[in-house]
């Protein structure tokens, strides 16, 4: 699904932003924000990031960061570093 070079209706743009947001919320930590945005047709990352923040109240990387934070907190609370395995 490519949108490059087209003038999209506002509803289509809103839908694309929502798709990126949804994908970033459940994203694989190895995927980059730029790759995800580009896959949905956003070519200019600076403009994308500004508009994303206006729509969702946070940067795209903050959305992805929310996924990573809980595992760090759990590891700290358990007294293990995140790379240690639990005792069996």
Pairwise CA distance, residues 29 & 65, whole Å: 9
- Rounded average pLDDT over 65-82: 56
Q: Where are the beta strands (DSSP E) in the chain?
A: none
Question: Looking at domain 10-78, which CATH architecture does it have?
Answer: Orthogonal Bundle (1.10)
pTM: 0.65
Pairwise CA distance, residues 24 & 62, whole Å: 10
Considering only residues 70 and 64, tell me which one the structure prediction assigns the higher pLDDT.
64
The domain ranges of the chain are 10-78
pLDDT digits (tens, 9 = 90+) for 23-54: 999 877 778 999 999 999 999 999 999 999 99
Q: If residue 72 lies in a helix (H) or strand (E), which one and from where to where?
A: helix 60-78
Pairwise CA distance, residues 71 & 29, whole Å: 12
């Amino acid at each position: 699904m490519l949108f490059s070079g087209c003038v999209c209706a506002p509803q289509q743009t809103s839908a694309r932003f929502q798709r990126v947001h949804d994908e970033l919320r459940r994203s694989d930590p190895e995927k980059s924000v730029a790759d995800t945005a580009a896959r949905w047709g956003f070519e200019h990352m600076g403009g994308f990031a500004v508009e994303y923040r206006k729509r969702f109240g946070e940067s795209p990387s903050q959305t992805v960061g929310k996924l990573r934070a809980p595992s760090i907190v759990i590891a700290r609370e358990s007294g293990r570093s995140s790379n240690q395995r639990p005792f069996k």
